[in-house]
């Protein structure tokens, strides 16, 4: 199995509202973290601390630089990374899109792999515990057949529940949304008392998923590891232990050799 990393580009104006909401939640978590520390409640402080992390532009650029030195391909999406990954999967340049979220399915990825992690665990800040995660494969055609919808109807269902681009309709969860879309065919067919509660920009949101902004300017080819430059970047510039970096490079080389003849279908069992 080989990986291609896709980075988010400029967010759609409708998504900026969700980004702002996340920023407010992060600021609230920082305040609660400080209050918990003052009270000596370290359990709560830890659960809030893990909610305050964010990626800075410098972190993103460092990640791209390191991937380049390791010979691992990455793609700069013009907008939503999941839209770009879905596009690459539809073109069969990659086997699947991998993400925690379901947006790749809405963008039309034929396959979505969720919970592809190194640790195999997920930390739940609100509960202060971690849980094991098993990789999950969702095949778009099979999923649509199972729930009895087409992709356009699935997008309408998502709009009712809420997406990164809109708030959902209060009181409508996944099960109710599925019943409504199956019964009425789409948002336009909903009873007036429900339809008037749907975000009036729903047609624009549909188009975001159906006609996303993507690029064809990318490569999925792996390169060689520039070991000397990796040591310079990680050890000299970033202060990592040279021994740890050497071991990591060796593991990467071994993994590449082992996985060279293994398909993702075989890996998923």
- Is-contact 113 136, C-beta < 8 A? yes
* 263 within some domain: no
**Range of the structural domain that residue 38 is part of:** 5-223
- Closest by Cα among 265, 9, 236 to 113: 265
In 125-233, the DSSP E strands lie at: 129-132, 136-139, 162-163, 166-167
- Is-contact 4 88, C-beta < 8 A? yes
**Does 18 score more than 50 pLDDT?**
yes
* 267 within some domain: no
Helix axes 174-184, 151-161, angle to 10 degrees: 130
In the chain, the DSSP E strands lie at: 5-7, 74-76, 97-98, 111-114, 121-124, 129-132, 136-139, 162-163, 166-167
* 132 within some domain: yes
CB within 8 Å of 184: residues ≥ 6 apart: 190, 191
Residue 121: which CATH number?
Answer: 3.40.50.1010
* 10 within some domain: yes
* 207 within some domain: yes
Q: What is the pLDDT of residues 59-106, one digit of tens each?
A: 999 999 999 999 999 999 999 999 999 999 999 999 999 998 999 999
pLDDT of residue 267: 45
Q: 37 versus 226: which is more confidently predicted?
A: 226
% of the chain exceeding 90 in pLDDT: 67
- Is-contact 198 169, C-beta < 8 A? yes
242 by Cβ neighbours in 10 Å (0-12 / 13-18 / 19+) ranks as exposed
Q: How confident is the model at residue 178 (pLDDT cuts 50, 70, 90)?
A: very high
Please give the tally of structural domains in the chain. 1
Dist. CA 154–CA 159, nearest whole Å: 9
* 234 within some domain: no
| CA-to-CA separations, 206 to 5, 112, 159, 165, 256, in angstroms, rounded | 26, 20, 8, 10, 40
Q: How confident is the model at residue 164 (pLDDT cuts 50, 70, 90)?
A: very high
Q: Report pTM.
A: 0.85
% of the chain exceeding 70 in pLDDT: 94
- Is-contact 98 114, C-beta < 8 A? yes
* 231 within some domain: no
According to DSSP, residue 167 is labeled: E
* 229 within some domain: no
What mean pLDDT, rounded, does the chain reach?
90
- Is-contact 159 202, C-beta < 8 A? yes
Dist. CA 195–CA 264, nearest whole Å: 42
- Closest by Cα among 152, 164, 163, 162 to 189: 152
Q: How confident is the model at residue 48 (pLDDT cuts 50, 70, 90)?
A: confident
Q: What is the pLDDT of residues 120-131, one digit of tens each?
A: 887 776 666 778
């Amino acid at each position: 199995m080989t990986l291609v990393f896709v980075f988010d580009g400029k967010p759609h104006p409708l998504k900026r509202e969700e980004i702002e909401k996340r920023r407010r939640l992060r600021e609230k978590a920082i305040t609660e973290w400080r209050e918990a520390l003052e009270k000596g409640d370290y359990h709560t402080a830890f659960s809030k601390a893990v909610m305050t992390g964010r990626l800075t532009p410098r972190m993103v650029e460092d990640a791209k630089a390191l991937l380049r030195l390791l010979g691992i391909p990455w793609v700069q999406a013009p907008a939503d990374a999941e839209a770009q990954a879905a596009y690459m999967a539809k073109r069969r340049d990659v086997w699947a899109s991998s993400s925690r979220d379901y947006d790749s399915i809405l963008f039309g990825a034929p396959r979505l792999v969720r919970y592809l992690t190194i640790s195999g665990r997920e930390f739940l800040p609100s509960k202060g515990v971690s849980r094991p995660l098993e990789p999950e494969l969702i095949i778009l055609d099979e999923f649509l057949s199972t729930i009895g919808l087409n992709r356009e109807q699935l997008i309408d269902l998502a709009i009712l529940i809420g997406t990164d681009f809109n708030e959902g309709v209060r009181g409508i969860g996944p099960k109710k949304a599925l019943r409504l879309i199956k019964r009425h065919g789409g948002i336009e067919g909903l009873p007036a008392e429900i339809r008037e509660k749907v975000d009036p920009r729903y047609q624009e949101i549909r188009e975001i998923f159906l006609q996303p902004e993507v690029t064809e300017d990318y490569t999925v080819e792996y390169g060689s590891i520039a070991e000397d430059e990796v040591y310079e970047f990680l050890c000299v510039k970033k202060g990592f232990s040279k021994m740890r970096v050497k071991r990591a490079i060796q593991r990467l080389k071994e993994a590449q050799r082992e996985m060279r003849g293994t398909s993702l279908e075989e890996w998923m069992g």
